Structure 1
């Protein structure tokens, strides 16, 4: 049993599952051996709950059978959240004071409980604990907001002292360093972990990430090092889905043919494993992302859409183990129907109703689908049921957010955003039914949340205003909505249709729209400038490498206004607004008192220069993954507006439709603050 347990804690889950199966031929009556083997099976990506249930049936009430079932549930993507913690408590009761049972309960709490509950558990542990419990506390600590280097390495040393062969005492600090863009230090620790557990796919995958980020290696050296190590892993663990998955992910950008071959192998050899689910899902995601790009370019391809439809149906026919993936696939299936102008109302209803039972995360999208159903089909009663279902799921969604974030402000912001979207959608559905008073109550509830960033909300409030014959209000709402992110896409057509209903055609619409936008511009500017921070804090100091060579120190910004955009290539809104950010930089290129720059937070940056050149972007890019993480810059895109004294006076989260205009307003406000006498400066309203 000890060998299997050590393999588990060495992150060689497929290896310990295979070794456990072999050892069970010699020791068929060892319940601990069987239990730990099943935990290895669960971590390797297979559903081990049926196997644990069978063990419990053969050994009713056996403490190790209860342990096995709890361990299998922790890693079950569908049942773990609800069932694993109670099951782990039962196992701990059955194995009182046993370190394995204590560790398992701690792991269930770390994976599925709120951070506060897991923290309280670790704080309550008496005296010295096992190396595995120290390592688990370290894993938990790495995901807490206020973690620091001293705490990380103190916990690692405690685990190492309890067991010098503790793999996670080396691996977890290495992973933490890597996430803070310290790849050279990370690589040393990860290689130490590999000496203790040489066949672990998870550890080797992290080593490849460290090699990718290494500044002292050129692209050819990185490629050769990763390829050689990948071959070594596949030689020793080529029959493991986790090894195939790790090699597949590393191959995606570097070895395209290898990536496709490993994807095929995963799906063919391990169809019941989570890794195969991810491979199938990622292939589908690539297809629907390609469809999105075609639509953005105005280049539809019906044959490609039909191919995507068939692939979605095939995925649904063999459901994945992770329910969230199925929700995403049904969502994309609905979008295909929604975007088909020839689709029958019954088809749209069927697509929404098929999707609704599987959607737990993107409930705002489900609510939007209810609006689409109410406005495009006669199925308004069914649409109301969908909208109310989304609202019912809000509490569960908020609970997930509370478990993920200890910062109450983050939770409140997320809750307000969802509440705004869901009440706004229900209001639109009720308005489509002609239930105006009820619609007004829901829309007022949405508007009162203060999260007026969604252009859809402006469209829905404008529809209510028009229904109440408040045409000027409706026009003003739509004109203001144009300035929100995606406002042109969402608000222009409703504004034009409103104009046509009032005037019979769209002649004169362009001039009318300009007049409306001018009327709301002063109000928008005043609202934006009112967000100035009452007591600005200094920009956190930095010394960051510049893409292309050299480094930039925060001190070099003093005496100038700095606009600093924090972004990543994987962030869609970030990418969408980059050309406008370039326009802003060009507009102020000759201004000695203004600097416009960016901080990129991608972990993989070796292709970043080519990516920027391909898009004609010449912005200064600093590499600051660790800087952003250490300072809590988690929402992307994020733009900081820093005054002459190095203080952050404005922040802007998310993308904006009117970037050049709105960012210029902030820059001009900072210029005025700098030139105004101290006695004339007035603190903004907080």
Structure 2
């Protein structure tokens, strides 16, 4: 990747525009077009002024100035690129796309065109194409603006790659204000990405350095002022904001920060706050042209001050001037959010089925429909509208079927930020409340890439590969669950059963899968009853009961398995008589059934296992020969294994149960590649069971599934093998151990 110095940048930045300018002159002579009404010096001065607007965050004036100059010098790519940044400040992604297209139309590889197009994709939250475009722009001509955007888009995709690029820049490039700014922002992100709060100090120091080196850049003051405000150090905040306002009195971004500080802090007595804010607003009007961003910023502040009348007045002017603009669309969205906020307030004051809440649900529904009928700037916030509509309709009683199905379809088409809702709970609700079950299954299938991408993006937040693996399994299980349930509701019970059982095999800790499987088993019992097969009826109902019972402990919150189990009891017994006693003995009934099944799972032809000599974490060697005469439990696991991680707290209890038992040896064997990973995991979770480190033994012993546990009798024969997680490990493992102990004790 190119990291050329600023010297080469200056050659590119000054030489190319002059070439373009000269070409324009030659073209004018050749085709008879009128010569430009500016000199080369004036054009360079215009570009410098656009850069000034960028460093001062005065996008209100910057856009108007750039608009005028692009009309005068439409063929200058750098000018258009700098103008595009002013449009980014207005959040006008469509117009940024237009500037990029104008640059690239006659010069597809122009770096300024690639930069503008990359920024447009970034504003649209399309990070992957943005990365590719800005990388190409940087490698073609390493401008400071390109480096800044490249760092920004990389940090959204892969923080460590962004950091590597930053460190690969040469000393001169590291000194550009655009790069130093991004260094401070990356350091701020490092607090969370690297889970180290000391990076906040590094970020603060870099911003302080930025302010000292570039005193004419407004961000050095506003970022430090924001930190002072968050810490309520208003004695620091005041001079920083005064310096920022002196530099950029016409920036709505700076002014908004000033207004919030005056209004929401204890800097001023309450009665003085509004006059101070309005005085700052008046100064802003004098310093800045009247623009939609400025009006919107003031309207937002008036709404914070609970002056709905002044806010509405400013918003009406925005809509009247251009009803299809970005800021008009933001006004429409605020109206929708206002209706939804009112619903939240009513839910806090009244029951969910109260007349007040039910009436407001209809208000929210109508507000969404009104929003969707507006001349929207783009589809960006349609996802927000549809998710609001989905929740409102889902809370109605009865749920309006066709409207609800349309809401889920709208979610699938527009909402990408919440894939667990869009492609999980929403299609599931569509299955339960509409006749479009198979269509809902198709929505889930189409959303699989988005769901998996979200899991992959969150990988850094998991401490171990095993925790990440379990999250992945949970998502995959949920996908199969919804698709399987769709088959069931569509009348394809057998297809549904097989798909749901696959979901359960992937992740056993899902209450929804357990519930849905129980429902399927009940349906199959009904079909068996219609055929007159009484034995099959009993078997299917027993399976349904087992599934509901297992679903009790699957997760917290409202659990459908409980109600289903009670309904099943009433159906099988003809009444609810005795149900309390039944529920009271449920745990014991479940224990008896599980214990019987476990003891019946004994290996038919027990054999010995591959001997081993393996080191503990402390280096002490353990020889399998020393286990002779003892009952041994050999547990194979790894921190990378999701199911292993899930059952580790129970395994710790099991280990403690037999730790002082001279007749039983409990040994875990981890095949993690690094002992550091194992020690870190054990320490973080306060686990102290013994761990042997795999040296290739796992492969020699033929273990190919995790977790796997062998239960070995005193003679060295493997009598039980458990593959996968146990529902209640401590209890179920101890049943196997005690069964082997009893056999030895009772033998002659």
Give 2:450's aligned residue.
393
Alpha-carbon separation, structure 2, partners of 1:509 and 1:265: 66
Give 2:337's aligned residue.
285
Deviation at 1:500, TM superposition (A): 4.3
The alpha-carbon distance between structure 1 residues 17 and 150, as it changes in their structure 2 partners (threshold 3 A), is same
1:325-352 Cα offsets, whole Å, 9 max, x none, are 2123223334455455556755544443
Give 1:90's aligned residue.
136
1:152-210 Cα offsets, whole Å, 9 max, x none, are 24322443454331222222233334445545434433332222222222222223333
Task: Tell me whether 1:208 sits opposite 2:259 in the alignment.
Answer: yes
1:633-683 Cα offsets, whole Å, 9 max, x none, are xxxxxxxxxxxxxx9999xxxxxxxxxxxxxxxxxxxxxxxxxxxxxxxxx
Deviation at 1:73, TM superposition (A): 1.4
Alpha-carbon separation, structure 1, partners of 2:588 and 2:298: 56
Q: Which of residues 51, 54, 59 in structure 2 aligns to 1:13?
A: 59
Give 2:170's aligned residue.
126
Q: Does the 8 Å CA contact 2:394/2:404 hold for their aligned counterparts?
A: yes
Alpha-carbon separation, structure 1, partners of 2:548 and 2:120: 54
Task: Summarize the alignment of residues 203-282 of structure 1 with structure 2, pairs less than 5 Å apart.
Answer: 203-212=254-263, 214-237=265-288, 239-257=290-308, 258-282=310-334
Task: Summarize the alignment of residues 446-461 of structure 1 with structure 2, pairs less than 5 Å apart.
Answer: 447-448=507-508, 456=512, 459-460=515-516
Q: Does the 8 Å CA contact 2:393/2:404 hold for their aligned counterparts?
A: yes
Q: Which of residues 34, 37, 47 in structure 1 aligns to 2:83?
A: 37
Q: Which of residues 99, 120, 131 in structure 2 aligns to 1:73?
A: 120
Q: Which of residues 437, 441, 446 in structure 1 aligns to 2:501?
A: 441
The alpha-carbon distance between structure 1 residues 445 and 210, as it changes in their structure 2 partners (threshold 3 A), is farther
Q: Does the 8 Å CA contact 1:241/1:270 hold for their aligned counterparts?
A: no
Give 1:326's aligned residue.
382
Q: Which has the higher contact order (CA 8 A, sep 6+)?
A: 1
Give 1:524's aligned residue.
none
Deviation at 1:414, TM superposition (A): 6.0
Alpha-carbon separation, structure 2, partners of 1:276 and 1:506: 59
Task: Tell me whether 1:109 sits opposite 2:182 in the alignment.
Answer: no
Alpha-carbon separation, structure 2, partners of 1:285 and 1:437: 41
Give 1:473's aligned residue.
546
Q: Does the 8 Å CA contact 2:218/2:247 hold for their aligned counterparts?
A: yes
Alpha-carbon separation, structure 2, partners of 1:203 and 1:106: 24
Alpha-carbon separation, structure 2, partners of 1:456 and 1:81: 34
Alpha-carbon separation, structure 2, partners of 1:327 and 1:223: 36
Alpha-carbon separation, structure 2, partners of 1:195 and 1:414: 51
1:407-457 Cα offsets, whole Å, 9 max, x none, are 778966765664454343334334443125423334314634x5x6xx645
Alpha-carbon separation, structure 1, partners of 2:462 and 2:50: 36
3-state SS in 1 of match to 2:381: helix
Give 2:50's aligned residue.
4
The alpha-carbon distance between structure 1 residues 283 and 472, as it changes in their structure 2 partners (threshold 3 A), is same
Give 1:100's aligned residue.
145
Alpha-carbon separation, structure 1, partners of 2:286 and 2:563: 58
Give 2:246's aligned residue.
195
Task: Tell me whether 1:501 sits opposite 2:571 in the alignment.
Answer: yes
Query: Under a length normalisation based on structure 2, what TM-score does the superposition of the two structures give?
Result: 0.60
The aligned length equals: 524
3-state SS in 1 of match to 2:300: helix
Q: Does the 8 Å CA contact 2:249/2:283 hold for their aligned counterparts?
A: no
The alpha-carbon distance between structure 1 residues 504 and 352, as it changes in their structure 2 partners (threshold 3 A), is farther
Task: Tell me whether 1:485 sits opposite 2:588 in the alignment.
Answer: no
Task: Summarize the alignment of residues 308-347 of structure 1 with structure 2, pairs less than 5 Å apart.
Answer: 308-318=364-374, 320=376, 325-340=381-396, 347=403
The alpha-carbon distance between structure 1 residues 29 and 325, as it changes in their structure 2 partners (threshold 3 A), is closer
Q: Which of residues 389, 394, 416 in structure 2 aligns to 1:360?
A: 416
Task: Summarize the alignment of residues 261-660 of structure 1 with structure 2, pairs less than 5 Å apart.
Answer: 261-291=313-343, 293=346, 296-300=351-355, 304-318=360-374, 320=376, 325-340=381-396, 347-366=403-422, 367-402=424-459, 415=472, 418-419=475-476, 421-432=478-489, 433-434=492-493, 435-445=495-505, 447-448=507-508, 456=512, 459-460=515-516, 462-463=518-519, 466=522, 468-469=540-541, 470-477=543-550, 479-480=552-553, 484-487=556-559, 493-494=563-564, 497-504=567-574
Deviation at 1:16, TM superposition (A): 1.0
Deviation at 1:312, TM superposition (A): 1.6
The alpha-carbon distance between structure 1 residues 115 and 458, as it changes in their structure 2 partners (threshold 3 A), is same
3-state SS in 1 of match to 2:91: coil
Structure (1 or 2) with the larger CA radius of gyration = 2
